Amino acid sequence: MSVFVEIGMMVLIAMLLAFLVRLLKQPPIVAYIFAGIIMSSSGLITNKDLITAVSEIGIAFLLFTVGLELDFKKLRNIGGIAIGGGIMQFVILFALAFLISNMLGFSNSTSVYLSLVLAFSSTMIVVKILA
């Protein structure tokens, strides 16, 4: 399958799911996550390098968007609470993910990687939803 066809399928499925979750009054990030699950579990994507490149571009755009919406005046007013809450959310999620992945039989190093990925990605999702 062509790279352009795979990218087109990714965009189409993400767009359709985003429309559906918008009807349910949910943030579109939920649709994007489900689109990724559908695409990976159905075998529609065969080019893993494409997925890596597109995901890195997507993360860069997400971080760029968060940076654009960051207001230093608001951050100064709620900075302490936001930093404390963010650190607490990260640590709790990391610990829970580490314990669950260890219980599922993953090695310690794999559990650490999975926990870091989950903790960082959930932080980005929360920031995007709040924005």
Q: Which two tokens stand for residue 6?
A: 């795979």
Backbone angles phi, psi at 14, to 5 degrees: -65, -40
What distances in angstroms separate CA 38 from CA 7, 33, 45, 75, one per listed residue?
A: 14, 9, 10, 37
Distance, CA of 129 to chain centre: 11
The model carries a pTM of 0.50
- Per residue of the chain (131 residues), give pLDDT as tens: 677 888 888 889 889 999 999 898 888 878 888 888 888 788 777 777 877 887 788 778 877 877 777 777 776 777 677 778 778 888 888 999 999 999 999 998 899 988 888 877 766 666 655 55
